[in-house]
Amino acid sequence: MNTEKKALFTIFGGTGDLAKRKLYPSLYRLYKKGYLKKQFAVIGTARREWTDDFYREIVIDSIRDITDSPEHALKFASHFYYQSHNVTDVNHYDTLKKLSNKLDEEYQLNGNRLFYLAMSPNFFGIISQNLKDRDLITTCGFNRLIIEKPFGHDFESALKLNNQIRASFEENQIYRIDHYLGKEMVQNISAVRFGNYIIESMWNSRYIDNIQITLSESLGVEERGGYYDTSGALRDMLQNHILQIISLLAMEPPTRLEDKEIRTEKIKALRAVRLFEPNEVTGHMVRGQYGPSLDDSSENLNGYREEINVAPDSQTETFVAGKILIDNFRWMDVPFYFRTGKRLAKKGTQIDIEFKNVPLNLFDNNDEPLPANILTIYIQPTEGFSLELNTKKIGLGLETETLKLEHKHSAETTANSPEAYEKLILDCLNGDSTNFTHWDEVATSWKFVDVIREHWDNETVNFPNYASGSMGPTASEQLLITDGFKWHWCPNEK
C-alpha cells in the first residue's frame, strides 16, 4: 500500500511545455498509484488569465493517453486551480498566498508546500525571494523548491543564482533537477556496482581500461534554436548529465544508500576530476556542429546554421566529446570518454565499460589479442545490460568467439517503468534528495566546464564539421584512436 503524501504544489510556468508534457502526467501517475489521493492540491500559475475550468481541461488533455477513465481524470483534475500571476509583480504573491492558505485548509495539507519553478531560470531568484518576503513559506510542514535546469551558465552566474535562492531557502530545501538522475538505469548503476561483488571488485584501474559514455540524439535542435544557440552541448549536457553519470560511475561505495552518504562520495569523485589547463583543452576535448546530411543519405536534413533562430555563422557546438581523467587511487590513468550530440546516427544513451585484455592470448586466434570484455549499461531507449565474453568456438581446435550475454527489459516493462519526473517528484515529497544535484556538485562541475568554454570562446572554429546522421566529427574517433581505443558503440557500422 503506497503512503499518501500531503502537499500543495505550486507550479510556476503552469501553462508551459514542461508542465504539460511532464509534470501533469507525472502527478497523475502518482495519483493512480495512490501516492496522491485526497489531500493534495495544485496551483498552476502563469501570466495568462485562465479560469480553473479551462486549466483543468488542459490538465486532462495532457494525461489523455494514460488515464484510466474520463471520470478518473476529472476527479484528478478537480485538485487543480489556476492563478494568473506575473512573477515580477510583488502584489501578485499576496493573491497567491490567499489561495494557498485557503487550499491548505480545505485539503488539510498541514503547511506542506512544494514550489516547482518550471520557467526560465532568470526568474528563479525573484520567485524565491518573493516566496519568502510575502510569507508563502509556511512555518509548519515542509517547504521545498524544485528548480529546473540550467542552473547558471558558468560558475559565477550559478553562484549568484545560488546566493539569491539561499537567501530564502536552505540547501536541504532546494531540489535541483537533473532528469537523468531519475532514469531507471542511471539509478541502476549503484545496484550493479554495489549489489555484485564480482563487478565492484573489478571496478578500478587494475581491470578497467576505459569507460565510454554516449548520449546521442538523432533529432536536431528543432524549434529550440533560439535557446540552444546561447547554450550549446557543453553547457547543456556535460555540466550536468554527463558529469553526474561520471560521478556515479566513479564514486567510492557509500556506507549507506542515503542522500548524504551518496552525495559525499559523488562530490569527492567530482573533485578528483582533473581540471584542464587552457593548453590541454584541445588534446582532450572535441567540439562539433552538424551540417546537412550526406548527399547519398535518404533524408535531406538542414545543417544547424540553417535552423530557425540560429545565427548563419553560429559558433555554437551541437556535439561535444572528451576524455576525462580522475586523479585518485581507483581511477588513475583510466580515461572516461564521453560524447553527446544532436543529429547523430541513432538516439540512445549507453555506457560501455571496457575491461583490460588478458595478459597473454593462449588460443588459436592468429596471434590477435582477444577482444576485451565489455559491460554495457543501456539507459535509453532500451534499458538493460550486456556482457561480452570470449568463449571457445564449437569445433576442432581452440579458436575463440565473443558471446554477448544480454538482458534488455521488455518494451512493456520499459513502458511501465516510472517516468524520471514521476520518481523525482515522489523523492521530493519524501524529502529524499539523492537524485538531485547539491550546490557543491553544481559548483565543481561549472569550474571544470568554464575552463573549456573560455578556451573555446577565444578561438574560431571551422563549423560545420559533421554530417547529420553521422556519429560526430572524425576528431571524436581520433580522440580514442590516439590512446589505442575505439568507440565501442558504432550504430553506423553494421
> Which residues fall in the annotated binding site for substrate?
179, 183, 217, 236, 342, 347
What angle separates helix 155-166 from helix 124-133, to the nearest 10 degrees? Answer: 10
Quick one: which of 8, 60, 87, 136 contacts ligand NAD (CB under 6 A)?
87
Spatial separation of the C-alpha atoms in residues 237 and 171, rounded to whole Å: 23
Closest to 240 measured CA to CA, from 49, 441, 80? 441
Quick one: which of 4, 17, 57, 61 contacts ligand NAD (CB under 6 A)?
17
Size of the site for ligand NAD (CB under 6 A): 19
Contacts (CB under 6 A) with ligand NAD, residues 112-131:
118-121
CB atoms within 10 A of CB 132: 15
**Contact criterion met (CB below 8 Å) for 321 and 286:** yes
Question: Position 61: which residue type?
Answer: D
Stretch that binds ligand NAD, among 84-92, 266-274, 433-441, 486-494 (CB under 6 A): 84-92
CB of 87 to ligand NAD, least distance (A): 4
Spatial separation of the C-alpha atoms in residues 102 and 482, rounded to whole Å: 65
Spatial separation of the C-alpha atoms in residues 494 and 492, rounded to whole Å: 6
Pair type for strands 466-468 and 290-293:
parallel
Quick one: which of 78, 88, 196, 410 contacts ligand NAD (CB under 6 A)?
88
**Is residue 186 at the binding interface for ligand NAD, with CB under 6 A as the rule?**
no
Number of alpha carbons in the 13 Å side-chain half-sphere of residue 46: 18
Quick one: which of 148, 229, 354, 441 contacts ligand NAD (CB under 6 A)?
148
Question: Position 23: which residue type?
Answer: L
**Is residue 230 at the binding interface for ligand NAD, with CB under 6 A as the rule?**
no
Instruction: Supply 240's cell numbers.
Output: 550536468
**Is residue 32 at the binding interface for ligand NAD, with CB under 6 A as the rule?**
no
CB of 412 to ligand NAD, least distance (A): 25
The CA-CA-CA angle for residues 180, 193, 329, to 5°, reads 100
CB of 63 to ligand NAD, least distance (A): 16
**Contact criterion met (CB below 8 Å) for 360 and 486:** no
Stretch that binds ligand NAD, among 79-87, 201-209, 241-249, 476-484 (CB under 6 A): 79-87
Give me the active site residues, please. 241
**Is residue 15 at the binding interface for ligand NAD, with CB under 6 A as the rule?**
yes
Quick one: which of 46, 131, 136, 146 contacts ligand NAD (CB under 6 A)?
46
Quick one: which of 5, 7, 8, 18 contacts ligand NAD (CB under 6 A)?
18
Residues that bind ligand NAD (CB under 6 A): 13-18, 21, 46-47, 85-88, 118-121, 148-149
